């Protein structure tokens, strides 16, 4: 490396794909401008910027909560100043790949709740769908507005040491994190204004507007009343619900604010009942209507599902989309793409072993120390075994679980997530990142440029979840090709 | 607007006003103590007495009305749901629930005020007076930010009704404090000590200077008249209710002086009482009794606001 940056003096890319440096230590073209800026800073400058950013998060109250009694413990998602930068050419692949994938997923959802062609043609075993907790028989025969089911999808990607992107999981039910994407950008603009003036970073500020337009496209009502349905202040993503409602100018409602009368949905206002046309729900499927799903739910609205079924209120994402989040169903997405679109997947899945298949299971049980084992319907980094770092006892527990309920387990080889330099005390060190882009599907598909880059702050860790010591970074998608950057 | 949101912002206004007034209570007592003849012991019980939380205090602090206990109880005690910290916690929780309604500047100011009180516990023990002034200023800043950044629509008017009806209640209690303050002997009525207490009360309502400009000499009848009946002083009860009434009628889109719902009716009744009473009526009735009666009516007004706008039952 030919530079004089002290806080990068000991930086090593090791055997990983590093987003800023090649294995020879050269700065990649996408990072050229940012790196030049780093060279002009000393450690104190950098730390001052980091301090200002952290303080902005606390004072703006951008927090997620772990509640105990009344006051609760609020935590900010740790934020790192070094952005993850995606070159124009890579984004082009991601954008096309995500568009293709979301169209296939939506077609799949519409299919399994209606004609079930993919099951009849034996592309996916029917019992896999039937046994998935996200599959809701109540949704059979429903045709949501415009045939859209997964209006907002968060598709988790990783870049492996081979430099290629892979899809790690699909989130079609209630993907969260987009508020961090928007706020991270605002904070970065304040920290590095001079870079943004020159870097051709694709803007993301219009996401709330796009989201609102997508939601409004789900109804034929003139001047529709769009609301955001939140489980309430105790939900860990409450900040985001409130943020999105504010940015869209929509009403933020809780279940108790809504009432269904004569098959129509209304909200209770100081001037009486007011009709609701579109609900952007951030409440899980099973809690939206105690008459149809969990009877103990106090977060939902009795009768809402009936109003939805009659087409009197649109719900995004559609109830029933959770089946696509099942990690077993995930393994079939490449097959869906071929089946519905007659195309090859642009973004591959991580190779996945399904433990209910005898051959796969045998392989997994033999090689469990090398693999990552995941439970079909858990997220947040829970219900997971990281083979290489596991103890014999942990492996034994998972082996028993796999044997007793093979349908519920999948396994994947350890992927090595790419790394981005990250400020750890007085040095920049490589830390692993993933990427969750957000995809809107209304009249057409729209991918917000970038997404949430989550970073595993613990040294060597590949687990990026906020509940497991993860943080986030701003994600820049460059709007100009590489050759232009080099000539700049 | 959503009934729940209306209720939340109304209480947001109330909680902040309550926190500010508790800071006023404390500040006035601290300054009063500094001026007291050294032969008199510090009086902290009246302060607790007017809050209506005396029973809770007694059960928690063994009836020991020491400065430290009262400071703790009124300021930081989370078991006291009306302590300054409790009010700020609740105000902040409310603000969090309706962050998409209020301006982000309001949120930020409230958040910073809350953090400064929450983390203040030991560091500021040295200068309590500064600390309470900081809370007052923090509340003023919040109100100013609200007035100048929040659109003056329904949400604003609910917040305004909340803060003004709370302020009316607290000015009522500040005046009532005189009833609880002890004078060493009956003959002390009308002495320096007596008027020192009255001045302290005026100061706690930021009313001292305005009062002196308007009335000149200290006379308890004038002080009572000023703090209850003045239509121009922003902390006088009459002023607060007239302004709250304006907001109430803006929400209901009804004419002032008429009523179309129980809240407007109750408000109208209290205001007409103030319109046609004067200080003689109060003296005749008894100051403490009059203030007590007014508090009951203000509570009833709160109930009617709840029934008219917030109650989720239809």
The pLDDT, as a whole number, for residue B113 is 95
List the one residue out of B15, B26, B39, B151 whose CA is nearest residue B91. B15
* Cis bond upstream, residue B122 (ω within 30): no
Please identify among residues 7-36 of chain B the ones whose CB lies closer than 8 Å to any CB of chain A: none
Share of chain B above pLDDT 90, in %: 70
Sequential DSSP letters for A193-242 = HHHHTTS-BPP-TTHHHHHHHHHHTT---SS--EEEE---TTSTTHHHHH
The pLDDT, as a whole number, for residue B225 is 95
How many domains, in total, are found in chain A? 2
Is residue B311 over pLDDT 80? yes
Which pLDDT band, with edges at 50, 70 and 90, does A127 fall under? very high
CATH number at residue A301: 3.40.50.11290
CATH number at residue A399: 3.30.1490.270
A58 interaction partners in chain B (CB closer than 8 Å): 115
Which of A71, A251, A252 lies closest to B89 in CB terms? A71
A390 located within any domain: yes
CA closest to B101 among chain A residues: A246
- CA angle, corner A463, sides to A458 and A464, nearest 5? 85
Give the domain extent around A389: 353-413
Is residue A59 over pLDDT 90? no
> What are the pLDDT digits (tens) for A287-304?
999 999 998 888 899 999
Contact assignment for A59 to B108 by CB distance below 8 Å: yes
Q: What are phi and psi of A316, to 5 degrees?
A: -125, 130
Contact assignment for A233 to B309 by CB distance below 8 Å: no
Summary mean pLDDT of chain B: 91
Kindly tell me the burial class for residue A196, based on how many C-beta atoms sit within 10 Å of its own C-beta (0-12, 13-18, 19 or more): middle
Sequential DSSP letters for chain B = -BHHHHHHHHHHHHHHHHHHHHHHHHHHHHHHHHHS-TTSPP--HHHHHHHT-HHHHHHHHTT---HHHHHIIIII-TTSTTSHHHHHHHHHHHHHHTTTTS-HHHHHHHHHHHHHHHT-TTTTGGGHHHHHHHHHHHHHHHHHHHHHHS-SSHHHHHHHHHHHHHHHHHHHHHHHHHHHS--SSGGGTTSHHHHHHHHHHHHHTT-HHHHHHHH-S--HHHHHHHHHH-SSSTTSHHHHHHHHHHHHHHHHT--TT--SSHHHHHHHHHHHHHHH--HHHHHHH-HHHHHHHHHHHHHHHHHHHIIIII----
Contact assignment for A252 to B100 by CB distance below 8 Å: yes
Residues A362 and A262 in one domain: no
Which pLDDT band, with edges at 50, 70 and 90, does A404 fall under? very high
H or E element that contains A152: strand A152-159
CA closest to B79 among chain A residues: A70
Give yes or no for B260 touching A (CB within 8 A): no
Token pair of A434 as six digits: 């993933």
Residues A303 and A373 in one domain: no
Between A382 and B30, the more confident residue is B30
Which of A242, A246, A257 lies closest to B2 in CB terms? A257
The pLDDT, as a whole number, for residue A203 is 94
Is residue A65 over pLDDT 80? no
Share of chain A above pLDDT 90, in %: 77
The pLDDT, as a whole number, for residue A69 is 44
Token pair of B102 as six digits: 């209020």
The pLDDT, as a whole number, for residue B314 is 45
Q: What is the mean pLDDT of residues B15-38?
A: 88
Q: Rounded to whole angstroms, how far apart are CA atoms A472 and A452?
A: 7
Please identify among residues 144-183 of chain B the ones whose CB lies closer than 8 Å to any CB of chain A: 154
Q: What are phi and psi of B298, to 5 degrees?
A: -65, -40
pTM score, whole prediction = 0.83
Contact assignment for B312 to A268 by CB distance below 8 Å: yes
Complex-level ipTM: 0.73
Which of B3, B78, B99 lies closest to A268 in CB terms? B3
The pLDDT, as a whole number, for residue A90 is 97
Between B29 and A419, the more confident residue is A419
How many domains, in total, are found in chain B? 1
Which of B4, B78, B107 lies closest to A61 in CB terms? B107
Is residue A256 over pLDDT 70? yes
Q: Rounded to whole angstroms, how far apart are CA atoms A61 and A248?
A: 19
Q: In Å, how far is A138's CA from the nearest CA of chain B?
A: 30
The pLDDT, as a whole number, for residue B246 is 97
Specify the DSSP class assigned to residue A254. -
Give yes or no for A4 touching B (CB within 8 A): no
Going through A230-308 in order, the beta strands assigned E by DSSP cover 251-253, 258-261, 264-269, 272-275, 278-281
Residues A361 and A274 in one domain: no
Contact assignment for B89 to A70 by CB distance below 8 Å: yes
A68 interaction partners in chain B (CB closer than 8 Å): none
Q: Which of B5, B77, B151, B250 to mutate to test the interface with A (most CBs of A within 10 A)?
A: B5
Which pLDDT band, with edges at 50, 70 and 90, does B298 fall under? very high
Q: Rounded to whole angstroms, how far apart are CA atoms A452 and B290?
A: 61
Contact assignment for A268 to B89 by CB distance below 8 Å: no
Token pair of B193 as six digits: 């000590």
Give yes or no for B81 touching A (CB within 8 A): no
Token pair of A277 as six digits: 């046309």
Is residue A377 over pLDDT 90? no
Taking one residue from A and the other from B, the number of pairs with CB-CB distance under 8 angstroms is 67
Give the domain extent around B40: 3-310
A225 interaction partners in chain B (CB closer than 8 Å): none
Cβ atoms within 10 Å, residue A163: 9
> What are the pLDDT digits (tens) for A413-431?
999 999 999 999 899 999 9
Q: Rounded to whole angstroms, how far apart are CA atoms B201 and B220?
A: 11
CA closest to B107 among chain A residues: A60
Q: What is the mean pLDDT of residues A371-396?
A: 85
Domain limit, last residue, from A316, A339, A370: A316
Domain limit, last residue, from A413, A434, A464: A413
Token pair of A350 as six digits: 């991580």
Which of B97, B310, B312 lies closest to A256 in CB terms? B312
* A231 to A256, A287, A301, A314, B8: CA distances (angstroms): 10, 9, 11, 18, 16
Q: In Å, how far is B107's CA from the nearest CA of chain A?
A: 8
Contact assignment for A268 to B314 by CB distance below 8 Å: yes
A71 interaction partners in chain B (CB closer than 8 Å): 78, 89
Domain limit, last residue, from A364, A394, A413: A413
Please identify among residues 232-291 of chain A the ones whose CB lies closer than 8 Å to any CB of chain B: 232-233, 238-239, 242-243, 245-246, 250-254, 256-257, 259, 267-270, 273
Residues A213 and A311 in one domain: yes
A310 located within any domain: yes
- CA angle, corner A256, sides to A252 and A260, nearest 5? 100
Could you give the count of Cα atoms lying within 13 Å of B224 in the half-sphere of its Cβ? Answer: 20
Give yes or no for A385 touching B (CB within 8 A): no
Whether the CB-CB separation of B37 and B192 falls below 8 Å is answered with: no
Which of B3, B101, B115 lies closest to A270 in CB terms? B3
Summary mean pLDDT of chain A: 92
A63 located within any domain: no
Please identify among residues 52-71 of chain A the ones whose CB lies closer than 8 Å to any CB of chain B: 58-61, 70-71
Contact assignment for A273 to B2 by CB distance below 8 Å: no
B309 interaction partners in chain A (CB closer than 8 Å): 270
Which of A58, A242, A269 lies closest to B2 in CB terms? A269
> What are the pLDDT digits (tens) for A98-109?
999 999 999 999
Residues A239 and A294 in one domain: yes
Q: In Å, how far is A214's CA from the nearest CA of chain B?
A: 20
Contact assignment for A270 to B154 by CB distance below 8 Å: yes
Give yes or no for B99 touching A (CB within 8 A): yes
Is residue B123 over pLDDT 60? no
Sequential DSSP letters for A334-362 = HHHIIIII----SSPBPP-EETTSHHHHH
A308 located within any domain: yes
Contact assignment for A233 to B93 by CB distance below 8 Å: yes
Which of A242, A269, A273 lies closest to B1 in CB terms? A269
Q: What are phi and psi of B93, to 5 degrees?
A: -60, -45
A276 located within any domain: yes
Q: Which of B86, B96, B262 to mutate to test the interface with A (most CBs of A within 10 A)?
A: B96
Q: Rounded to whole angstroms, how far apart are CA atoms A168 and A155?
A: 8
List the one residue out of B180, B245, B228, B150 whose CA is nearest residue B28. B180
Is residue A72 over pLDDT 60? no
Contact assignment for A61 to B111 by CB distance below 8 Å: yes
């Amino acid at each position: 490396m030919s530079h004089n940056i002290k806080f990068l003096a000991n930086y090593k890319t090791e055997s990983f794909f590093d987003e800023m440096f090649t294995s020879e230590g050269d700065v990649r073209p996408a990072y050229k401008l940012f790196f030049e800026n780093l060279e002009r800073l000393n450690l104190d400058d950098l730390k001052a910027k980091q301090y200002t950013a952290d303080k902005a998060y606390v004072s703006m109250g951008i927090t997620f909560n772990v509640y105990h009694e009344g006051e609760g413990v609020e935590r900010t998602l740790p934020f790192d100043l070094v952005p993850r930068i995606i070159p124009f050419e890579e984004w082009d692949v991601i954008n096309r790949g995500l568009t293709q994938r979301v169209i296939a997923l939506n077609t799949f959802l519409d299919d399994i709740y209606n004609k079930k062609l993919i099951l009849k043609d034996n592309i996916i075993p029917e019992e896999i769908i039937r046994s998935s907790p996200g599959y809701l028989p109540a949704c059979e025969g429903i045709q949501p507005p415009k045939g859209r089911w997964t209006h907002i999808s968060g598709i988790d990607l990783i870049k492996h040491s081979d430099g290629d992107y892979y899809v790690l999981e699909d989130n079609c039910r209630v993907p969260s994190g987009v508020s961090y994407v928007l706020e991270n950008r605002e904070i970065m603009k304040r920290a590095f204004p001079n870079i943004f003036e020159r870097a051709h970073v694709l803007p993301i500020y219009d996401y709330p507007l796009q989201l609102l337009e997508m939601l409004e496209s789900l109804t034929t009502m003139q001047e529709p009343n769009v609301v955001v349905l939140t489980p309430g202040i105790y939900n860990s993503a409450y900040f985001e619900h409130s943020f999105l409602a504010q940015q869209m100018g929509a009403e933020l409602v809780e279940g108790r604010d809504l009432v269904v009368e004569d098959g129509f949905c209304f909200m209770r206002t100081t001037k009486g009942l007011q009709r609701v046309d579109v609900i952007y729900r951030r409440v899980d499927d099973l809690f939206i209507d105690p008459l149809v799903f969990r009877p103990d739910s106090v977060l939902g609205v009795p009768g809402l599902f009936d109003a939805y079924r009659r087409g009197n209120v649109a719900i995004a994402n559609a109830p029933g989309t959770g089946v696509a989040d099942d990690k077993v169903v995930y393994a079939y997405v490449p097959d869906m793409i071929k089946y519905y679109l007659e195309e090859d997947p642009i973004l591959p899945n991580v190779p996945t072993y399904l433990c209910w298949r005898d051959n796969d299971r045998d392989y997994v049980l033999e090689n469990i120390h090398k693999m990552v084992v995941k439970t079909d319907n858990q997220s947040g980094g829970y219900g997971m075994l990281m083979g290489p770092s596991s103890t014999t006892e942990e492996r034994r527990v998972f082996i028993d679980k796999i044997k007793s309920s093979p349908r519920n387990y999948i396994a994947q080889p350890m992927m090595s997530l790419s790394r981005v330099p990250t400020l750890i005390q007085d040095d920049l060190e490589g830390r692993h990142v993933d990427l969750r882009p957000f995809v809107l599907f209304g009249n057409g598909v729209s991918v917000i440029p970038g997404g949430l880059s989550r970073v595993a702050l613990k040294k060597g860790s590949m687990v990026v979840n906020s509940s497991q010591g993860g943080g986030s970074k701003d994600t820049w998608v460059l709007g100009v090709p590489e050759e232009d950057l080099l000539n700049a | 607007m959503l009934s729940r949101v209306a209720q939340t912002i109304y209480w947001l206004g109330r909680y902040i006003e309550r926190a500010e007034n508790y800071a006023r209570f404390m500040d006035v007592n601290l300054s009063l103590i500094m001026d007291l003849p050294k032969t008199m012991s510090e009086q902290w019980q009246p302060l607790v007495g007017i809050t209506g939380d005396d029973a809770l205090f007694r059960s928690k602090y063994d009836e020991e009305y020491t400065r430290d206990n009262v400071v703790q109880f009124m300021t930081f005690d989370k078991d006291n749901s009306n302590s300054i910290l409790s009010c700020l916690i609740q105000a902040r929780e409310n603000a969090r629930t309706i962050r998409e309604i209020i301006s982000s500047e309001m949120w930020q100011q409230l958040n910073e005020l809350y953090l400064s009180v929450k983390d203040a516990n030991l560091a500021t023990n040295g200068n309590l007076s500064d600390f309470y002034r900081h809370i007052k200023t923090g509340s003023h800043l919040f109100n100013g930010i609200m007035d100048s950044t929040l659109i003056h629509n329904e949400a604003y008017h609910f917040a305004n009704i909340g803060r003004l009806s709370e302020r009316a209640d607290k000015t009522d209690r500040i005046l009532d404090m005189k009833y609880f303050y002890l004078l060493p002997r009956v003959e002390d009525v009308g002495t320096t000590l007596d008027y020192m207490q009255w001045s302290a009360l005026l100061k706690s309502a930021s009313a001292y200077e305005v009062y002196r400009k308007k009335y000149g000499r200290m006379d308890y009848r004038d002080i009572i008249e000023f703090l209850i009946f003045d239509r121009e002083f922003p902390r006088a009860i009459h002023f607060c209710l007239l302004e709250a009434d304006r907001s109430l009628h803006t929400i209901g889109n009804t004419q002032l002086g008429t009523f179309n719902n129980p809240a407007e009716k109750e408000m109208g009744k209290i205001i007409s009482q103030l319109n046609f009473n004067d200080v003689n009526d109060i003296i005749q009735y008894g100051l403490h009794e009059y203030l007590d009666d007014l508090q009951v009516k203000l509570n009833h007004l709160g109930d009617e606001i709840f029934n008219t706008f917030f109650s989720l039952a239809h």
